[in-house]
Structure 1
Amino acid sequence: MKKFIGITQRLIEHTQYLEIREALALDWGAFFCEKISEDFLPLALSSKIDFKDYIPYLSGVILSGGNDLNSLNPNKLSLFRDAYEKNILKLCLQNHIPVLGVCRGAQMIAEFFCAKITPIMQHTSPHLISFQSQNYKVNSYHNYGISELCGDFEVLGIAIDGSIEAFKHKNKPIYGIMWHLEREENLSIPSQKMWKMFIENFKEKKCVF
């Protein structure tokens, strides 16, 4: 039986049509189709639907990238998305649903747990990180970095400048990465390991890459 993994979407204001749209990059479809086990299906989450209605169908949730956090770049779309994703995190914690934050999603998790996020340089191109004491190159598309985590989190990956690139909660199924695993042509070792940590919470059979 296939398992649904919910994915939040970025918000885009289309000025020509005077409407706000939710969007999910095609990379996510390719990620689920080509790079991971066929046991999973992505489910794009609409912010206009109460997240409680999704809960019975979800094995896990991905907080995707796109848009800045409102605390970093205030605007109405970020404010709306922040509120929606904070509610998702609260309900996932209450219902023991695993969460993986990707880029902005990792920042959202960090901010939810009162971490420190600051402007950062040279993180809009591939760069080296130390992940579990080994060096790897990852992609990067962000202007803000997590400089300090609060609470019961374990840092798994760190950039040369000291910013946090990967982490997990010590007691809860919550994970964050600052690179985009869905945009990798071939999944890097850090991406494979983080993905396995995430799905091991709800899948007995190991995924095959």
Structure 2
Amino acid sequence: MFIGVSQRLLLNESYYELREALALEWGEFFRANLQGFLPLPLSYELDFKAYVPHLKGVILSGGNDLNSLNPNELSLKRDVYEAKIISYCFKKEFPLLGICRGAQMIAQHFNSTLKPCQNHIGTHQITTKRGEFEVNSFHNFCIESLGQNLKSLAVSKDGSIEAFKHKKKPIYGIMWHIERERGLSENAIFKKWLKGVK
């Protein structure tokens, strides 16, 4: 069984070529935390619906900024494709998890506000119902407020939203990278999403 994972887009500098890429950590993450599932990298040149019969859930990965925050052709290409994934998952109640940029994409899709932030590179503290946790952090933009259909699950000390879920659908967003070091120091949100996948 597969979980679809959207990929980072890169521009090769030695000659013009757009490339899709996933960090190696995703393979290790699946081996350690998603036994029974394999990652299926999603290509931006193939219709997402062609993948659906093979998938049990979708992860929108990190990398690239949203086009609305840092306009460029790579971000726009990702935005258009991932918006279709979000719409499909919403309509079909299909388990969706956004990581960092993926969380920002989901938040924006549901009318949340984002803004530039400082001190969100490295690690920082978040607060959930279960207490305080230190998580990794690699983003220059944060979620300032959520749209009315989303519910906050974690906040940072500066008040920005670090994790959320849709109020009615199996859609989650996490601003830290679960596939990297300290990615699962807070794992309850990931486990709730995974329960929907299983």
Given the two structures, how large is their TM-score scaled by the length of structure 1?
Answer: 0.92
- What is the letter of the counterpart of residue 28 of structure 1? W
Report the count of equivalent residues: 198
Partner amino acid, structure 2, of 1:8: S
Q: Does 1:26 align with 2:21?
A: no
- State whether residues 176 and 183 of structure 2, in contact with CA within 8 Å, keep that contact through their aligned partners in structure 1: no
Question: TM-score, normalised to structure 2's length?
Answer: 0.97
The residue type paired with residue 181 of structure 1 is: I
> 2: distance between equivalents of 1:37 and 1:78?
28
Aligned counterpart in structure 1 of residue 74 of structure 2, from 58, 77, 82: 77
Tell whether 2:107 aligns with 1:110: yes
1:207 maps to none
Partner of 1:50: 47
Q: Which moved further from structure 2: 159-168 or 36-45?
A: 36-45
Deviations 1:34-86 (A, max 9, x none): x2142111110001000010011111000000000000000011011100000
After TM superposition, list the pairs within 5 Å mapping 1:5-44 onto structure 2.
5-33=3-31, 35-44=32-41
Q: CA deviation at 1:202?
A: 2.8
- Give, in angstroms, the shift of residue 18 of structure 1: 1.3
CA distance in 2, matches of 1:37, 1:108: 23
Counterpart for residue 196 of structure 1: 191
TM-superposed CA distance for 1:9, in Å, is 0.2
Is the strand fraction higher in 1 or 2? 2
User: Which AA in structure 2 matches 1:198?
Assistant: W
Q: CA RMSD in A?
A: 1.2
* Identity value in percent: 53
For structure 1, list consecutive stretches of 5 or more residues without a partner in the other structure. 204-209
Which letter does structure 2 place at the counterpart of 1:84? Y
Cα gap change, 1:158/1:186 in structure 2, threshold over 3 Å: closer, same or farther? closer
Name the CA distance, whole Å, in 1 between partners of 2:148 and 2:40.
Answer: 30
